[in-house]
Chain A
Amino acid sequence: MSDISQVEVRNLFHHLQVNESEKFFAHVRDDVQWTVKGTHPLAGHYQSKQSFLEATFMRLNPILQEGVVLKVEHIFTADNTAVVEMKSLSTAKNGKPFNNTYCWVVEFDSDKKIVAVRAYLDSALVQQVVDENE
C-alpha cells in the first residue's frame, strides 16, 4: 500500500475542473467500486467504471450546459485514502445554477489508481435538476 499525496490528488482532480474528465478517469480502475450515496436517481453502488459513468456523468452531461465541472475546495489525505470536498460550477439546461457540494472518499491502489469511491452529495439538488431538465 503506498500513500497518496496532496499534490498527486490535486493534480488528478484538476482534470475535473477543466473539462478533461477522460484524463481523470484514466486513473480510475475498470473494476472500481463506486458508491453514490443518498436517495436520488443517480445513487447506487456501481461495480465498474463503465456502469458508474453511464449512470452518472453520461446522464448529467446532457442536462448541464457545460457538462459536469467540479472544483476542489479541500483535500485531506490519510495513507492510501484521500477525502476531497468539491463544488460543481455547472448551469442546468433550464438556466438554473447547479451548485452542488460533494465529499468524495477516494481509495487508491498501490499503482495510485482509484479503486473505490464513496461520494456524498446534495441529493435533493440532484433530484431537482433531473426532474426539471430531463
Chain B
Amino acid sequence: MHKPELLESLLRKLPMGACMVDIEYRIVFLNDFFADRMDCDEKDVLGKSLLELFPEQARFLKKKINSVFILKNESFSYWEQRPHIFNFLSSRPVTGEESLMFQNMEVLPLMDDSNEVLYACITIQDVTAQASYYNDLSKVADELDLEHKAQASLISKLKNTQSQLVHSEKMASIGQLAAGVAHEINSPIGFVYSNIEILQDYIGKLVKITQFSDKLIDKIGQEIHQKLKKDFFERHEFDYIKEDVVELVDESLDGVKRVKVIVESLKEFSHADAKHWAESCLVEGIESTLKIVSSQFDANVTLHKEYEEGLTPIFCMGMQLNQVFMNLLVNASHAVGDNGSIFIKVFSDGDYQKVSVRDTGVGIDASNVSKIFDPFFTTKPVGRGTGLGLSLSYNIIKNHSGNIDVNSVVGEGTEFIVSIPVKNAI
C-alpha cells in the first residue's frame, strides 16, 4: 500500500490543485487538477517560475511562499478576501453565472529530516459553488435590508402624516365648533344689542321726563308737594340713579359690542370649510387672528403693526393661513414671555405677498433651527406645545406653493417670514 507510485498517483488525482515550488519559486510538481486548470502539460511548466507564469499575483504569491520557507508554517488565503488567485476558469462553465473559479489556498511547508523546508506546496480548493451560493445569499440579504429600511421610513412617514392629519382634523373640528358657537350666540347677542340700544334711548328720555316733572313740581307745586318730592327723590337716591343708570347702560352696550366683535371674528376665523379657496386679504386674516390670540399676550408686550397699503386680496385658503398666523403669533408670545415686542409686517415683494412676524424673544438655538418644522419637535414644556404647530404651518404654506423662512439669533429674537404667491394655482 505504501508504494510511492500509488501515493503519487493519488496526489495526481486529488480533487484539488497541488503545486510544489522550490525556494526560487520554480515548479517541481503539478498535479492533474492544477495542470488541467492551467490548460498545460506538467512537463511544459516544470522548472519554470510560478511567479512568471502568474505575473499578476506574483507579489502576493512571493510573500506567501517566502513566509512558508521562513516560518516553516502553513499560510492561507480565503476566497472572500482574494477570490481568484489563479486565473482559472469556473468549474461550472455551462450552468454557472461566474466566469472565474473561487479559490481557497493553503501553502504547506514540506520539510526534510533536518527540519528545513525543501518545498512549498500550494494547494487550491475549488469553492466556486459555496462562494456563489454565499454571494447570492448576501445579495438577497442586502436587498431585504434595503426593502426593510424603505418600509421603515415609509412607516414613519405614514405615522407623521397620520398625526398631522389627526391634528389638522382636531383644528378643523375646533374651528367648526367655534363657528357653531359663534352662530348660536350671534342672534341672541344681536337682539340684546339692539334692545340695549333702544333701552339707552328710553333711559335718556325717562331721565329727561323725570327732570321735567322735578322742575314742574318746583315751579307750580306747594311747599308740601315740593317737600314730598324732595323726600321721595332722596329716599330713592334719584340724583345718583339718574347719573349711574346712563353709565350702566353705556357700559353694557360697550360690553355687548365687544362680544359682537369677538363672535364676528370667530365666525370669520373659522370659515365653515377649512379647505376653501377664495380671494382673501392677508391683513384681514392677521387682524381677525389677532383678535383671537391677543388675549394671550402679556400686558407688557407691545405689538407693532406695519401694513403696506393697497395690498390686493390673494387667492388662498384663508382659514388655513389664519391657523399659520395664529401658530406664529402664539410662538412669538411664548418667546417674548412677559416683556418684549412683537412686530407684524405685511408687504408685497415681486410675485409674493409676505407676512413677517418678528419677536424680541429668546431666539432659537442654531442646532434646532433645522428641526423646528419636524413633526413633534418642541422646546416648550410638556403640555404647552404639541410640536405640530410649525410642521402643520409648513405644510399649509407648501400647499399654497409658498415659503416659510426663519431667521433667529439666540438672545435677540426670531423672525418668521411667510411668502404666498399672488397668483396661486389651485
Q: Do A and B bind each other?
A: no
Interface residues of B (CB under 8 A from A): none
Interface residues of A (CB under 8 A from B): none
